[in-house]
């Protein structure tokens, strides 16, 4: 007599083995997902504290020179304004004016910014203590003021606690001075 299928015992053995394998697999996957969730929460907290530094550095690194004879960059101890291709609230990469401010309130300093497209002041960080901007100009060293009427930007900008601790440092990645082509005089007046 020929056998046409599986016996009941064989089917039950396969079902028991499949059930045990899926129970062990579910337990392992549950543990794995819990670990991913814990790591994700930790990374999110770490990234959240680094995000204000990143936004500031990114906007400064993409500072744009607009005109060789007009002031578009102004730096004071508590205020820094310039034209940038990057701001925390804009992903289009369109040049626009951005202003960073350090507002002193009690024993804390609020890092805030506004842009010409959205003039509302938005707070992105609170720092304990008093902080100010410092600017590195070519050949001049660090200073808490930057003014230039020759279309220049500082080489770097940093946020420093009164007393010396550097909270962040941002370098400008573009040339420090707007270049005027030498042949400009030949073609006459050029409107920037």
Q: How far apart are CA 73 and CA 81, in angstroms?
A: 6
The pLDDT assigned to 44 comes to: 65
Q: What are phi and psi of 178, to 5 degrees?
A: -70, 130
How buried is residue 52: exposed, middle or buried, by Cβ count under 10 Å (0-12/13-18/19+)? buried
pLDDT in tens, 106-155: 899 999 999 888 889 999 889 999 999 999 987 788 999 988 666 678 88
Tell me if 100 sits within 8 A of 56, measured CB to CB: yes
Tell me if 100 sits within 8 A of 134, measured CB to CB: no
Over 60: is that where the pLDDT of 180 sits? Answer: no
The pTM of the full predicted model, rounded to 2 decimals, is 0.68
Q: How far apart are CA 20 and CA 15, in angstroms?
A: 9
């Amino acid at each position: 007599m020929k056998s046409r299928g599986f016996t009941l015992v064989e089917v039950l053995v396969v079902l028991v083995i499949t059930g045990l394998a899926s129970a062990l697999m579910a337990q392992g996957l549950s543990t794995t997902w819990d670990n991913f969730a814990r790591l994700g929460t930790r990374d999110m907290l770490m990234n959240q504290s680094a995000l204000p530094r990143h936004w500031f550095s990114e906007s400064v690194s993409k500072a744009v020179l607009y005109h060789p004879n007009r002031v578009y960059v102004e730096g004071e101890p508590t205020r820094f304004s310039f034209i940038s291709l990057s701001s925390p609230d804009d992903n289009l990469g369109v040049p626009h004016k951005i202003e960073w401010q350090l507002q002193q309130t009690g024993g804390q300093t609020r890092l805030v910014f506004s842009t010409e497209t959205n003039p509302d002041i938005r707070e992105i960080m609170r720092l304990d203590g008093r902080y100010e901007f410092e600017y590195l100009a070519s050949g001049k060293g660090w200073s808490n003021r930057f003014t230039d009427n020759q279309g220049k930007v500082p080489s770097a900008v940093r946020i420093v606690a009164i007393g010396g601790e550097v909270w962040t440092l941002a370098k400008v990645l573009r040339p420090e001075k707007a270049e005027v082509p030498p042949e400009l005089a030949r073609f006459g007046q050029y409107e920037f």
